[in-house]
Structures are given as C-alpha cells and as structure tokens.
Structure 1
C-alpha cells in the first residue's frame, strides 16, 4: 500500500516538475503546442508571468519530493498531504477560472493520491 501511495505522490511531483519546465523554460517554444487555445501572440509578452507560475509549481513538486526524504512515516505522509491539498486547491481554482481540463490534469491526480492515503 505504501508503494502505491509513494507512486501517486511521485507522479504528482513529476507532473509539477514538467509544468515548471514548461512554464519557466519552454513557454515560447513548447507551451504554444500544449496550450493551443491561447493565441500565439500572447506567449512572448506573458513569458515572465508564466515563469513565475512555473516557479510555484516547482515549490509544490519540491514539497512532495521532500516528503520522500522524511524518515518518520507519519510525518512524511502529513507533509505530502499538505502539498497534495495545495495542488488540489490550485487545480480546482484553475478549473473554475481558466479551464475545466485543469481539474483533470492537476487536481484529480492529487485528489486520488489523497484518497488513497486516507482510505487505504
């Protein structure tokens, strides 16, 4: 069971590292292919804003990764739960304000990991 929880936490961490890379380092190259609904002319002027957003996604990923290095199992799960809740809230807010797809991409994986942590 612990292996499944660690896998789900790791998946969420990797996803947010990808978002960090996309928003901080590939906003004008790869991001237009990912965010096709945005007009192409908006990527260059929003590069700094996207980079800032990517940094915050990196903080979320680093919190989840940090939880892997905490030796006390209970404390490790509590730290992971905190960052998963932050991700879920951000994903729900994003789904309500920017696009429903964000719920499925960002919030749902975190909510699944939280559910497994709580109920299994």
Structure 2
C-alpha cells in the first residue's frame, strides 16, 4: 500500500508540474488555447493571471515531492488536501472537468496516503 500511495503522490505531483507548464509557458500558445477553449485575445489578456496560477500549481507539486522525500505524511496530506480544494474550486468556477483532472487523482492519492502503513509505526 505504501508503494501505491507513493506512486499516486508522484502522479499528482507530475500533474501539477504539467499544469505549471501549461499555465506559465503554453497558455498564450495554441496548446493552451485549445485546452481552455480560448481565443488568442482571451489568452493574451489572461496570460499573467494564468502564469501566477501555474506558479501555485508548481508549489503544490514541489510540496508533494518534499513530503515524499522527507517521508512526512502530514506534509503529503496537507498538499493533497490543497490540491483537492483547488480542484473543486476550479471545477465550480472555471471548468467542471478540473474535478476529474485535478481533484479526483489527489483524492485517490489522499485516501491511499492516509491508509498506507508507516514503517516507523510498524517497528514500535
């Protein structure tokens, strides 16, 4: 279960680094406009906001990796919870599919992380 939990956390982290790239570097490009169904004018007007949003997604990805590397379950739970909240908010305010793309993978990873056994508790 620990392996599956770690794998799920890595997947969610990679997703957030992907969101960072999409929002910071490809927002005002054909890929970003296609993903978010925007005109060139819309993407140009919102590029700075999207870059800021992308940076926050990068922080989520980095926080998840930090939790894994440091073996800090509470850090992992915190950042997965943040990803879920961000995904639900994004689904309600921007695009409903964000619930499936961002919140659902984080929720699965959170469930796995909560129920994964900790080696330290097994030896005590």
User: What value does the CA root-mean-square deviation take over the aligned residues?
Assistant: 1.2
The 8 Å contact of residues 6 and 113 in structure 2, kept in 1 or not, is answered as no
**TM-score normalized by the length of structure 2:** 0.87
Q: 1:1-120 to 2 correspondence within 5 Å? A: 1-29=1-29, 30-36=31-37, 38-70=38-70, 73=71, 76-120=72-116
Find the residue that maps to 2:28 and give its secondary structure.
coil
Find the residue that maps to 1:69 and give its secondary structure.
helix
**TM-score normalized by the length of structure 1:** 0.90
Q: Report which structure shows greater RCO (CA 8 Å, sep ≥6).
A: 2
Deviations 1:25-64 (A, max 9, x none): 111112012112x333200111111100000001000000
The 8 Å contact of residues 77 and 114 in structure 2, kept in 1 or not, is answered as no
Q: Which runs of 5+ in 2 are unaligned?
A: 117-124
Which has the greater radius of gyration? 2
Q: Which runs of 5+ in 1 are unaligned?
A: none
Whose helix fraction is larger, Structure 1's or Structure 2's? 2
Runs (4 or more) in structure 1 with deviation over 6 Å come to: none
